[in-house]
Structure formats: structure tokens, C-alpha cells
């Protein structure tokens, strides 16, 4: 009998939207919940609920996160967020708060998208926040582990227009074969491939601790 369950935060984003669709048709899951700030109605499945929450009061959403697998695809850019403080809220405060509530609710594992170069000691604000988030999540010690996915530039159709990023994606897509060896982790990757890697990683043998997928390991898992 299938009893496994999931929750997805950031399901309206580039990676999260692909992931939500994959999980919804996976018969190994008995139920799932999409947790967000606003309803999209994009996914209709009897086993999957879409729930609007206040990300400033995630303690109220603890019971929603009482699942086996929590997938976190939340993320923004400093430009879109408007300030470093706002960026940190989306990429550190909310994911860590959600993970804390999920851990308290009995979630088994947490799978999160950060970014290539994430490093808590980095001088680059963006990379430092990503690294600090990873460290804070690791400290929660999920029973079946923390799985971290560090893609470089994501390729895919976004809901909002980012002209500069579109140019960068086009260049990275054309030059992907040049990123080999130690540069492999900087190779652009399709958002759907990242979602696929997360989905597959969730069903790997459970193990406590942290596992990082970046560069070759991420591409290999995505297949």
C-alpha cells in the first residue's frame, strides 16, 4: 500500500513547476501538497492539494509539512527581490523556517535547490546566503538526510521576462559542450532536468547527513 507523501515549496517557479507535475503522477506517492503564497490552479489532481500560506507565519503551516519528502524550490534574484534584505528573506529565512517546521512535524528528508558556488564563507553576497542556508538546513539533521542541488544557469521558459538572463541562457546553452572537467559545474542545465534529479534523489536509499549534487553528479542523476 502506498503511503508516502510530499510537499513542494516554490511550485510555481521554473524548477518547481516541472517537479510538481512529476510528483503528481508518481504512484509511489499517496498524497502531496503544494505550498505557496498564491493559488495557481495549474495542477489538478485528486491526490495533490494546493494550499496558500503566509510565509511570515510558517509555524501555522506545520501540519502541511508533516510529509515524508519536502522539496524546496524557492529562490529569487537580488534584482527581482529589490534589496539584499528581501533576497535573504526568500533564499534563507523562508526555506530555513519551512525546514524547521517540517522537521518538527516529522518530515523524513529535505531536498533543496541552491546554486553553484554556494559557500557560507564567500565574499559574494549571493553565494554566501546560499551557503549559509545550506549550513542552517544541515543543522536540522533530517532522519533521511538533506539533499542539496546546485545548478548553474537554468534553461527554461519563465513566467516573467528577464531579458539579460535570456541572453545569458542562450550563450550558456550554445557553449555547454565547452564546460568540461573542473568547469562542468558551471554548465547551464535545463530546469526540467534539475526537477528530474530531485525526484530521483528522493527515492535513493535514505541516509542521514548531507548529499550535494553539483556539476557531473547533478547531470548524471538527471540523466
**DSSP 3-state assignment of 23?**
helix
Q: What is the DSSP string of 63-117?
A: GGG-SSEEEE-----HHHHSSHHHHHIIIIIHHHHHHHHHHHHT--EEEEE--TT
Distances (CA, A) of 77 to 82, 83, 90, 143, 165: 8, 9, 9, 31, 11
Secondary structure letter of residue 113 according to DSSP: E
Residue 175 neighbours by CB under 8 Å, 6+ apart: none
Catalytic residues: 126, 130
Residue 181 neighbours by CB under 8 Å, 6+ apart: none
CA distance 218 to 207: 18
CA distance 186 to 113: 15
CA distance 9 to 24: 14
Amino acid at each position: 500500500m502506498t503511503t508516502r507523501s510530499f510537499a513542494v515549496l516554490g511550485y510555481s517557479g521554473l524548477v518547481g513547476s516541472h517537479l510538481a507535475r512529476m510528483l503528481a503522477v508518481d504512484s509511489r506517492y499517496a498524497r502531496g501538497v503544494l505550498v505557496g503564497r498564491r493559488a495557481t490552479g495549474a495542477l489538478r489532481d485528486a491526490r495533490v492539494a494546493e494550499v496558500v500560506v503566509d510565509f511570515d507565519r510558517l509555524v501555522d503551516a506545520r501540519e502541511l509539512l508533516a510529509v515524508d519528502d519536502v522539496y524546496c524550490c524557492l529562490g529569487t534574484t537580488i534584482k527581482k527581490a529589490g534589496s539584499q534584505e528581501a533576497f535573504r528573506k526568500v533564499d534563507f529565512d523562508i526555506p530555513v523556517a519551512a525546514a524547521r517546521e517540517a522537521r518538527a512535524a516529522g518530515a523524513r528528508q529535505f531536498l533543496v535547490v541552491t546554486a553553484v558556488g554556494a559557500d557560507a564563507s564567500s565574499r559574494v553576497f549571493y553565494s554566501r546566503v546560499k551557503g549559509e542556508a545550506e549550513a542552517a538546513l544541515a543543522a536540522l539533521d533530517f532522519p533521511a538526510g538533506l539533499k542539496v542541488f546546485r545548478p548553474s544557469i537554468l534553461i527554461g521558459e519563465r513566467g516573467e521576462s528577464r531579458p539579460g538572463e535570456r541572453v545569458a541562457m542562450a550563450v550558456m546553452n550554445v557553449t555547454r559542450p565547452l564546460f568540461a572537467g573542473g568547469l562542468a559545474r558551471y554548465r547551464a542545465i535545463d530546469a526540467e532536468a534539475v526537477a528530474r534529479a530531485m525526484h530521483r534523489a528522493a527515492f535513493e536509499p535514505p541516509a542521514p547527513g548531507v548529499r550535494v549534487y553539483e556539476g557531473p553528479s547533478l547531470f548524471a542523476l538527471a540523466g
